[in-house]
């Protein structure tokens, strides 16, 4: 049966999850946690958490799931070494440095591909499996037919089944970073999507705020599909929420009917949604936290305490009492898995009136109270007049349970050996800097001088027109979809460009590495793979990337430190992407016919919408354009500069290319330098 996986932001929440009967928990330490604002666990608390989980047979997964800079790599190694020493059952990560470190230093430590890696297709699953991941945490946007397909690919799959929904695909949200320097990929998301944002200028709306998801009614179906883990979101939530969600999931899996009303009362944003599961996006999926929701939660809290007032019984225990007059009493406790301990007590007395019998022994040994055990059976090896006082028998029971706790915790804890990292990142020899041009439509290049441009990157469906216009196939690259619900069709489009002589694929996500390999194409890893350090760059190159566009979330000074065995580039011009979403904020508000491809924030700024409706996603772009043409000396570490054009006309494109070719300033209004000088926290 699939495991119920509960979130834990601190020890109090851990207690609630364990007392409610969770199968597994996930939590973060004080460093490298994508929920940096949670209490999280220091090393001592993490050690205690491992013990408390393992004595119950509960798995503990540590989230080491933020992007890491070169300066932080020594601390990352320490964090992984500690995880090995304490015996966590796996680590959840998005940074490609970690599969490299684990492969070199601690091969037996399981690693799970975080939802931040945007795994949502067959080739995405294949790619993370090839990287050494034992589990893929799937994107929240997937419908049930795709979930079922991905669960059949020979790797564990984990699916979010309850909790908050981000408007953006996880790992592809840069809104908080670009606007306020608080990176979601670094655990510091400011939840800008919960602020007013409107598809209608002048109206206060919340067109980026989704309801919480809940697939609780469909857990048995997900289990039958072969999903390995049913994940509850909420490391920032209070213990009552975790207990309610865990209890509902346990009941649903066992065929009981959970109290969805109680679950909704503890936390929701005007109800729940299952829209992605059934491919029903739109206005019904949107909602905000109301005063009524808060009032309902306050009223539900006392009732929810009952869910974890007593300890969940994780194991049966059998007792064997040895009691012979004049000898030390001995009690053996054995759990259902064959783990056994024996403790000894006081010398057995001779009964003056009533000797020991099974009824008396069972009565005393059944007092298991707040232990994790329920009584299975009792047997005894007794002499005829043996007698043990109730206090002594109770002490034996307590000692036996405590010993069994320790034995179970030890048996369920696999400590992983850790050897120092011997891998040395490699760096290529830098050549002449080149320009890459990304366009949505080949007509944006009509009459434009392409002097200094080494590569033209465009959607696969535009390649035929580009070739017909006279552009050489070797100068073209097909740009993969940033998200897809039909990977077979997308692969077919890319394959068609291969037949036209195009040999390069721009990898928007990790699945494209695998697709490129299958089609014998050179692969350029784009910004969506979130490369922020030398180890991840080297790992991506080992996977088959021929060059890499580094993350635009870091300062130029931090990017400069990255050593890569293949050429590196940067996002040097264009509207920075803020969100990648499978649910269009404009369509749900005003419909496609009234769409002006703009979304307004509470200050009235207009953010552009880039529509890929036919492929199932849209992109929210920044209101200001990133311009670095007059600051190229600060990007001199880059082998290529990528210029991303959206709705610019051909004359505008020509002026931008000319400015970057000459290192000249651009006469543009409302420009930004992005994060190359500000950086993120």
Q: Is residue 359 part of a domain?
A: yes
pLDDT profile of the chain (681 residues), mean per 10: 97 97 97 87 97 98 97 97 97 98 97 98 98 98 98 97 96 96 93 93 94 97 98 94 96 95 86 96 93 80 86 97 96 96 96 91 95 97 94 96 98 96 94 95 97 97 97 98 98 98 98 98 98 98 98 97 98 98 95 94 94 95 97 97 97 98 93 96 86
Q: Are residues 403 and 444 in the same domain?
A: no
Domains contained in the chain, number:
3
Q: Are residues 450 and 528 in the same domain?
A: yes
Q: Is residue 428 part of a domain?
A: no
Q: Are residues 250 and 371 in the same domain?
A: no
Q: H-helix or E-strand containing 563?
A: none
Cβ count within 10 A of residue 603: 7
Q: Are residues 387 and 500 in the same domain?
A: no
pTM, to two decimals: 0.96
Cβ count within 10 A of residue 254: 11
- Name 455's bridge partners: 436
Q: Are residues 407 and 438 in the same domain?
A: no
Tokens of 477: 């690259």
Q: Is residue 374 part of a domain?
A: yes
Q: Are residues 535 and 649 in the same domain?
A: yes
Query: In this structure, what are the phi and psi dihedrals at residue 99, rounded to the nearest 5 degrees?
Result: -60, -30
**Structural domain span for residue 510:** 434-575+626-672
Residue 300 pLDDT:
80
The residue from 411, 443, 475 where one domain ends is 411
Q: Are residues 399 and 449 in the same domain?
A: no
Q: Is residue 292 part of a domain?
A: no
Q: Is residue 551 part of a domain?
A: yes
Q: Are residues 568 and 649 in the same domain?
A: yes
> Residue 136: helix, strand or coil by DSSP?
strand
Q: Are residues 504 and 634 in the same domain?
A: yes
- Rounded to 5°, the CA angle 476-580-519 comes to 35
Q: Are residues 50 and 130 in the same domain?
A: yes
Q: Is residue 228 part of a domain?
A: yes
Q: Is residue 677 part of a domain?
A: no
Q: Is residue 206 part of a domain?
A: no
Q: Are residues 374 and 478 in the same domain?
A: no
> Residue 130: helix, strand or coil by DSSP?
helix
Strands (E), 290-389: 315-323, 328-335, 340-347, 349-350, 373-382, 386-387
Q: Are residues 399 and 440 in the same domain?
A: no
Residue 533 pLDDT:
98
- CATH number of the domain that 554 lies in? 3.20.20.70
């Amino acid at each position: 049966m699939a495991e119920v996986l509960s979130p834990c932001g601190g020890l109090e929440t851990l207690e609630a999850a364990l007392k409610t009967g969770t199968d597994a928990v996930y939590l973060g330490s004080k460093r490298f946690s994508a929920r940096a604002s949670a209490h999280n666990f220091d090393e001592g608390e993490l050690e205690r958490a491992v013990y408390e989980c393992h004595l119950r047979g509960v798995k503990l997964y540590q989230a080491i799931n933020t992007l890491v800079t070169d300066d932080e790599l020594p601390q990352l190694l320490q964090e992984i070494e500690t995880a090995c020493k304490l015996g966590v059952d796996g680590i959840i990560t998005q940074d490609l440095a970690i599969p490299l470190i684990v492969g070199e230093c601690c091969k037996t430590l399981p690693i799970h591909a975080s939802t931040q890696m945007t795994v949502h297709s067959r080739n995405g699953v294949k790619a993370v499996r090839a990287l050494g991941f034992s589990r893929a945490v799937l994107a929240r946007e997937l419908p049930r037919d795709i979930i079922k397909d991905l669960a059949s690919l020979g790797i564990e799959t984990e699916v979010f089944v309850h909790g908050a929904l981000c408007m953006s695909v996880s790992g592809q949200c840069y809104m908080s970073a670009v606007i306020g320097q608080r990176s979601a990929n670094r655990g510091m998301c400011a939840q800008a999507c919960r602020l007013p944002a409107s598809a209608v200028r002048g109206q206060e709306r919340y067109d980026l705020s989704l309801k919480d998801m809940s697939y609780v009614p469909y857990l048995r179906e997900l289990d039958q599909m072969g999903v390995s883990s049913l994940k509850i979101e909420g490391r920032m939530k209070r213990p009552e929420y975790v207990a309610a969600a865990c209890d509902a999931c346990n009941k649903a899996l066992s065929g009981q009917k959970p109290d969805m009303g109680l679950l909704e009362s503890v936390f929701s944003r005007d109800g729940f949604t299952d829209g992605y599961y059934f491919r029903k996006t739109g206005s019904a999926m949107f909602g905000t936290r109301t005063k009524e929701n808060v009032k309902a939660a306050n009223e539900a809290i006392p009732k929810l305490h009952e869910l974890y007032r007593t300890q969940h019984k994780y194991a049966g225990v059998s007792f064997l009492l040895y009691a012979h007059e004049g000898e030390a009493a001995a009690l053996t406790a054995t759990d259902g898995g064959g783990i056994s301990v024996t403790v000894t007590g006081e010398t057995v007395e001779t009964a003056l009136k009533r000797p020991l019998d099974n009824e008396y022994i069972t009565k005393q040994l059944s007092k298991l109270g707040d232990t994790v055990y329920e009584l299975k059976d009792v047997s005894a090896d007794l002499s005829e007049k043996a007698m043990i006082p109730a206090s002594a028998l109770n002490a034996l029971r307590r000692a036996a349970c405590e010993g069994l706790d320790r034995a179970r915790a030890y048996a369920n804890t696999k400590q992983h050996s850790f050897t120092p990292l011997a891998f040395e990142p490699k760096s290529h020899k830098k050549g002449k800097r080149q320009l890459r041009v990304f366009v949505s439509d080949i007509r944006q290049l009509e009459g434009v001088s392409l002097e200094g441009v080494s590569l033209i990157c465009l959607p696969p469906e535009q390649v035929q027109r580009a070739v017909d216009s006279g552009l050489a196939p070797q100068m073209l690259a097909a740009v993969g979809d940033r998200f897809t619900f039909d990977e077979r069709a997308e692969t077919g489009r890319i394959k068609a460009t291969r037949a036209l002589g195009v040999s390069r694929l721009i990898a928007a996500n990790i699945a494209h590495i695998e697709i490129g390999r299958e089609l014998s194409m050179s692969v350029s890893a784009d910004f969506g793979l979130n490369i922020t350090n030398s180890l991840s760059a080297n790992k991506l190159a080992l996977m088959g990337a021929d060059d890499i566009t580094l993350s635009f979330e870091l300062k130029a000074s931090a990017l400069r430190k990255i050593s890569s065995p293949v050429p590196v580039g940067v996002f040097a011009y264009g509207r920075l992407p803020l969100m990648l979403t499978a649910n269009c904020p404009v369509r749900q508000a005003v419909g496609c016919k009234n769409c002006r491809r703009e979304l307004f924030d509470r200050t009235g700024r207009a953010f552009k919408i880039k529509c890929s409706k036919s492929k199932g996603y849209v992109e929210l772009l920044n209101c200001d354009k990133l311009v670095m043409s007059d600051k190229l000396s600060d990007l001199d570490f880059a082998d290529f500069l990528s210029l991303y054009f959206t709705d610019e006309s051909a004359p505008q494109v020509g002026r931008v290319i000319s400015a970057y070719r000459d290192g000249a300033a651009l006469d543009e209004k409302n420009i930004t330098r992005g994060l190359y000088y500000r950086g993120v926290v």
